[in-house]
Structure 1
Amino acid sequence: MPQWLIDFGNWLLDILKTMANTILTMAKDAMLFIFEQMMILITFILDGMGTLFSGLDITSYMSGIPSGTAWVLSQIGIGQALSMIIAALTIRFFLQLIPFVRLGS
């Protein structure tokens, strides 16, 4: 077999390998771009949800409670407890919106 034909075959094989690697790299970059855009959207949504919980501070509603009772409630951490309960209920509500996650409730 002539050497020029072998060289041409090797050159063509190198070209095909380079094209395959390029296409795989482009596909990987496209998937990473989609993943990055989804993460940016999720970050935007979660940043917006922070304002939803700004009104959950129970201490602003304690002005009508006597000072002794308010002190006891603040010492036992009723504000943090109510915030945790509301956050848990919110997470449970959002999990109910996802199909196939409604296992226990």
Structure 2
Amino acid sequence: MVAGFTMLLAKLAAIVGWFGKLAVALFVAGWDFMRDVACWPFEQCMQIVVTAVGAVDLSGVVGNLQSWGALPAEVLNILGLLGVPQAAGVIVAAIAIRLVLQLIPFTRLGS
């Protein structure tokens, strides 16, 4: 009789353990779903941004960069020592940041 009672308690413990694992698995799956629901719109917006950036025509900029290599080596060395490439990078980054900040609602474009 005691062995049957022990076996019954072991089965009940196994069933409760299975339901516990099921509850944990359901919680993890629900958490993953909620995280995906939150991340999906952001991912779609980033795909639109990537498509928009890929559609920008940069042929004029690339054409001007080719003339940079036509300068003599001495001139390029002096420009590099003066920090012209770094300064140009800072200026381009500042212009890009300014353009992005102007896209914030309630600010005027063109200011």
For the structure 1 residues 71 and 22, does the alpha-carbon distance in structure 2 shift closer, same or farther, using more than 3 Å as the test?
A: closer
Give the alignment's Cα RMSD to 1 decimal: 3.8
Q: In structure 2, list runs of 5 or more residues that go unmatched.
A: 69-83, 105-111
> What aligned pairs does 1:62-81 form with structure 2 within 5 A after superposition?
71=64, 75=68
For the structure 1 residues 42 and 27, does the alpha-carbon distance in structure 2 shift closer, same or farther, using more than 3 Å as the test?
A: same
Question: C-alpha distance in 1, partners of 2:42/2:2?
Answer: 61
Q: In structure 1, list runs of 5 or more residues that go unmatched.
A: 61-69, 97-105
Q: Which moved more, 1:46-55 or 1:16-25?
A: 46-55
Q: What do the CA deviations read for 1:7-38 (whole angstroms, capped 9, x no partner)?
A: 00000000000000000000001111111222
Q: Could you tell me the TM-score, scaled by structure 1's length?
A: 0.53
In the alignment of these two chains, the number of paired residues is 82
- 1:31 maps to 31
- 2:94 maps to 85
Larger RCO of the pair (alpha carbons < 8 Å, separation 6+): 1
* Larger Rg, first or second structure (1 or 2): 2
SS class of match (1:88) = helix
- 1:18 maps to 18
**Residue identity (%):** 10
Question: 4+ residue runs of structure 1 moved beyond 4 angstroms?
Answer: 52-58, 76-79
For the structure 1 residues 43 and 36, does the alpha-carbon distance in structure 2 shift closer, same or farther, using more than 3 Å as the test?
A: same
Question: C-alpha distance in 2, partners of 1:2/1:38?
Answer: 53
Q: Could you tell me the TM-score, scaled by structure 2's length?
A: 0.51
